[in-house]
Structure 1
Amino acid sequence: MLTEQLNDYSFTYGDLKKIDAFAFMDNVKAHPENFKRGKVVLVTASTPLKASRGEGKTTTTIALIDALRRRGIDAAAVLRQPSMGITAAGSKGGASGGGKSTLAHPELADWGLTGEMGRIADAQNLLAAFCEKAVDDGVLATVSIPRVSETPSRSLRKVQVDGGKLNERFVLTPASEMMQIITLSRSLTEIEERIGNMIAGAAPETGKPVLVKDFVDVERIVRVVGNAVQPAYMESGEGSPVYIHCGPFGNVSLGIPGLIAVDMACALHDVVVVEAGYGADAGGQKWLDIACREYGAPWPAAAVVVTRATTWRDDPALQWRYPFAVNRLENLGIASFPMINLWEGEDDELPQLRATAQELGFRRPIVGNLWCDGGEGLVNQLDEFISSLESVNTGYSPESKAALSFADKIAFITENSYGVPANRVLEKEGFTDILAAARAEVKEAGIDFDNLAVLPVKSPATMTDDDTLPAEERTVTLKKVEIHSGAGLLHINLTTSLTTPMPKIV
């Protein structure tokens, strides 16, 4: 049931409730004494053996809030919107849970909600069109802003227009800079400022970078985005509140829901469960290192690290990845609970998994076939989890990485997120020149290079160059750089990972 505090800020759009979270948070800031300060629980996962195989994070998220509410705790979830072309139409199904741990109307989430993806795509594609016109007008010589599509197509990976005069490319809408901008922004003014700071392309003759705000009325683009900035309200099958906002991929983008939706949920509920895309090394890393440390998102009071039994046990050479994820979060002061999401035929693995977890010094695993049992299967396993939420947790608040140099940021990420120290971070041939060119471009645009948050672009199924090597031999290679100055991000390619992947046909 939609809380009464949101009545004045919500409206019906199609079959869903939409919430003006920006206006609501203005009220929260004006009268903080009237609202809660909910604690965030991060749901992340083991790195999957295959990128297309889900571990059950959304299923766990929904089961967890249902179980907490059964225990009398005011809990809610904040989820990302799935990508229709990849997630909903792919082999792993939608991003709305499953079985008894699902949304009341999963089809609404899986197939477009109220058109948010389309509005974000329209805004970025309109910007690209403005850039093409700017080429005709002599303002630009090249276009840096890619077009976007929610439907993947191999033919869109490299495109030439106007008789080959311009090279363009497409990325999927969830991987776009416009999606990142809306995910990170906490006001319409911030959205407008960030869009204006996107690098549109290079100027004729000088080759200097030209920002969008130099030739575009940015307010027009914000109007195109429309109600895509407003979270959608949904419920689990048991009636637990779920807010859905934004949908960036966890491997090539942020992998987290919109920060304004998380802020709103924390003002309304005691516990807010946030799911981050793919594994602890992908969306989990970006929640901690970008959302929290760079942009002030709430630090998790606890984490639930999901794995299928087969992911942990199938490949002995990769078994290190799950303990690494759990221990890394614990070392950051986050009470981290292993969650074994049982699938059919995995029950006989439980005794050995429990024994292994005890040997590794884990907290007692939370176990369940959440598809079959839903939140009911977790209710009696949450005593330690709930105690961890009730204990004093000041969070882990290191100095913002915005103060670190690029090299220090890379070292921080590779060592803490992948277990690879700085002396084993390699550079692909030519990377030094690519990085120098990026530095020069950013400087000419009037942007502080070291103030950009580093966003790793990587395969969702690997953490290092070769995860099967012994720990002391694993490396990470820096390969390519892409500037998203509007979002305030510097993309660093670590592995080959497409931004226009193809879905599995099912």
Structure 2
Amino acid sequence: MTSIEDFTSQYGLVQKIDAFGYLDYLKNNPDAPRKHGKVVLVTADTPLKASRGEGKTTTTIALIDALNERGIDAAAVLRQPSMGITAAGSKGGASGGGKASLTHPELIDWGLCGEMGAIEAAQNLLVSFAEKAVDEGKLDTILVPRVSEVPSRSLRQIAVDRGKGDVAERVVLTPTCELMQIVVLSRSMDEISERVSKMIAGTKDGKAVTFGEFVDLWRITGILGDAVKPAKTETVNGSPVYVHGGPFANVSIGIPTLVSVEMACALHDVVIVEAGYGTDAGAQKWLDIACREYGAQWPSAAIVVTRASTWRDDPDLAWRYPFHVQRLEGLDIPTFPLINLWEGEDDQVPALKATAKDLEFREPIVGNLFRDGGDALAPQLDAFVDAVMNGSMPAEPHSHKGMALVENVRWVAEHAYGVPAERVVLKDGFVESLQAATDLCASAGMNLGDLALVAVKSPATMTDNDRAPEHERTVTLKKVEVHAGAGLVHVNLTTSLTTPMPKIV
């Protein structure tokens, strides 16, 4: 009998799974053994600093260890972190820590699962084809950036002298690029090929030219042969973990590949999906992009991770954590606050629980997960397990396709950031940027309103100024960028970089 092992191969110290092939097999063999796992979203408070996480991955790993300890078949799906920004994991990667870590964290932190390098090579080859198209008179401008896993400030904006005048180019980090988004959102290699063909390479006489008009796409899909396969590894306690895709949540879509989650749901009863940065970023994009527009499963429950210091020690920003928890509860997602303690904070637990009670949260889950791992969580999960295992499967959410772009951004600002529509501000030049994006789409035969919205924002703030009084907070719309192949339109809200620099460690 065919099983998942038939789609699995060894890839160094991890395994790679042909998720496309496995899911296609299940589709064509409805009687084949499979599970229908429920998705749980692990998200977080908005961090005080963009470079300091709240502990989502550590929590995710501890959580599946605790669930498996309780006899529940649970797995996690993580994103592949960016090697450059984590300084190869030395400043803290995305593979947990202490007793809540992976068996080979260096493979994840150093990008050795393969997809980052393959996607980098494939998108850079596309740019090379675009450069050749300029030489041959097929393009006047190039709109697709080169990518790198190692950031360089000097490459954020460059110009290349081709003898006929400079052609502007730029370099962004691999996790932010359109090809990464295409891999994350696609459910087959044919879909990847179709989406790459719709990527807008540049313009000729002011009109969009797509790669499908001048590139043999088998060259690109061939490079991605292993990159489209999720890596399987495990925690130090033996719980299964799938790692695939790595888009940043602040300037991209911040979620693992859809096929890795769907594959995990076919193999396990509970699948913990980690969404990047805070609830305003990764969770917003899982709900409003993956679920609303791409058919991903709506969460059966959510965990919102915070540090005690982030939540309580800055009075001007204390509103953010309750806002996140209450927002998800308002979407009928049972939401559990989890406080990830640092060393020396155990004496704060009674006060933390008292504050959570005053805020009418569900009973908070509290522990030093780096030190104690899943053992800290297992005794505290009765209510969480009941909500996940006994709750009904959520309904499919309503799509926003066709909604005017500014109206869509105002909806996100109100629901995800707490800023009402009338305080969404258009910066000088935004209207012109929106019109240029609308015209670009029209010249490529598509409608801007059919693209899913990606809010490009600072990872450490929800509004233009989170310290402002509630009635003064605003969100400013700055510019629009089309990722036609991925089916996305980016709107820049607050200051954020697609090539941020790592810490020196």
For the residues of structure 1 that align with 2:91 and 2:487, how far apart are their CA atoms?
Answer: 31
The alpha-carbon distance between structure 1 residues 145 and 324, as it changes in their structure 2 partners (threshold 3 A), is: same
- Aligned residue in 1 for 2:181: 180
- Aligned residue in 2 for 1:169: 170
Task: Give how far 1:160 is off.
Answer: 1.6
Equivalent pair of 1:44/1:277 in contact (CA under 8 Å): yes
Q: Show CA shifts across 1:14-49 (max 9, x none).
A: 222100000000112123442111000000000000
Task: Give how far 1:113 is off.
Answer: 2.3
- 2:244 matched to 1:245? yes
Normalised to the residue count of structure 2, the TM-score between the two structures is 0.97
Equivalent pair of 1:91/1:504 in contact (CA under 8 Å): no
Task: Give how far 1:396 is off.
Answer: 4.9
Q: Give matches, 1:346-365, under 5 Å.
A: 346-365=345-364
- Aligned residue in 1 for 2:195: 194
Q: Show CA shifts across 1:260-305 (max 9, x none).
A: 0000000110000000010000111100000000000011000000
Equivalent pair of 2:87/2:503 in contact (CA under 8 Å): no
For the residues of structure 2 that align with 1:95 and 1:473, how far apart are their CA atoms?
Answer: 35
For the residues of structure 2 that align with 1:381 and 1:279, how far apart are their CA atoms?
Answer: 23
The letter of the residue matching 2:468 is: L
For the residues of structure 2 that align with 1:260 and 1:299, how far apart are their CA atoms?
Answer: 15
Q: Show CA shifts across 1:187-223 (max 9, x none).
A: 00110011110000011xx321101101111121111
The letter of the residue matching 2:413 is: T
For the residues of structure 2 that align with 1:467 and 1:397, how far apart are their CA atoms?
Answer: 32
The alpha-carbon distance between structure 1 residues 88 and 237, as it changes in their structure 2 partners (threshold 3 A), is: farther
- Aligned residue in 1 for 2:42: 43
For the residues of structure 1 that align with 2:191 and 2:91, how far apart are their CA atoms?
Answer: 35
For the residues of structure 2 that align with 1:394 and 1:118, how far apart are their CA atoms?
Answer: 37
What is the SS of the residue equivalent to 2:295? coil
Task: Give how far 1:408 is off.
Answer: 2.7
Equivalent pair of 1:89/1:503 in contact (CA under 8 Å): no
For the residues of structure 2 that align with 1:492 and 1:92, how far apart are their CA atoms?
Answer: 30
What is the SS of the residue equivalent to 1:281? helix
Of 12, 16, 24, the match for 1:26: 24
The letter of the residue matching 2:451 is: L
Task: Give how far 1:351 is off.
Answer: 1.7
- Aligned residue in 2 for 1:500: 499
- Aligned residue in 2 for 1:415: 414
What is the SS of the residue equivalent to 2:225? helix
For the residues of structure 2 that align with 1:169 and 1:405, how far apart are their CA atoms?
Answer: 29
What is the SS of the residue equivalent to 2:85? helix
For the residues of structure 2 that align with 1:119 and 1:398, how far apart are their CA atoms?
Answer: 34
- Aligned residue in 2 for 1:228: 227
The letter of the residue matching 1:123 is: A
Task: Give how far 1:311 is off.
Answer: 0.6
- Aligned residue in 2 for 1:477: 476
Task: Give how far 1:398 is off.
Answer: 3.5
For the residues of structure 2 that align with 1:71 and 1:46, how far apart are their CA atoms?
Answer: 27
For the residues of structure 2 that align with 1:468 and 1:462, how far apart are their CA atoms?
Answer: 9
For the residues of structure 2 that align with 1:76 and 1:250, how far apart are their CA atoms?
Answer: 22
Q: Show CA shifts across 1:454-487 (max 9, x none).
A: 1000000000011111212111000011110011
For the residues of structure 2 that align with 1:311 and 1:396, how far apart are their CA atoms?
Answer: 33
Unpaired segments of 5 or more residues in structure 1?
Answer: none
Equivalent pair of 1:425/1:478 in contact (CA under 8 Å): yes
Tell me the matched-pair count: 501
Equivalent pair of 1:244/1:257 in contact (CA under 8 Å): yes
What is the SS of the residue equivalent to 1:463? coil
What is the SS of the residue equivalent to 1:404? coil
Equivalent pair of 2:81/2:93 in contact (CA under 8 Å): yes
Equivalent pair of 2:87/2:502 in contact (CA under 8 Å): no
Q: Give matches, 1:13-412, under 5 Å.
A: 13-33=11-31, 34-89=33-88, 92-163=91-162, 165-203=166-204, 206-412=205-411
Task: Give how far 1:165 is off.
Answer: 2.0
For the residues of structure 2 that align with 1:493 and 1:278, how far apart are their CA atoms?
Answer: 17
Give the alignment's Cα RMSD to 1 decimal.
1.2
For the residues of structure 1 that align with 2:48 and 2:398, how far apart are their CA atoms?
Answer: 34
Q: Show CA shifts across 1:152-184 (max 9, x none).
A: 011111112235621100000000101000000
Larger deviation: 351-360 or 116-125? 351-360
The letter of the residue matching 2:274 is: E
The alpha-carbon distance between structure 1 residues 215 and 246, as it changes in their structure 2 partners (threshold 3 A), is: same
Identity %: 64
The letter of the residue matching 1:172 is: L
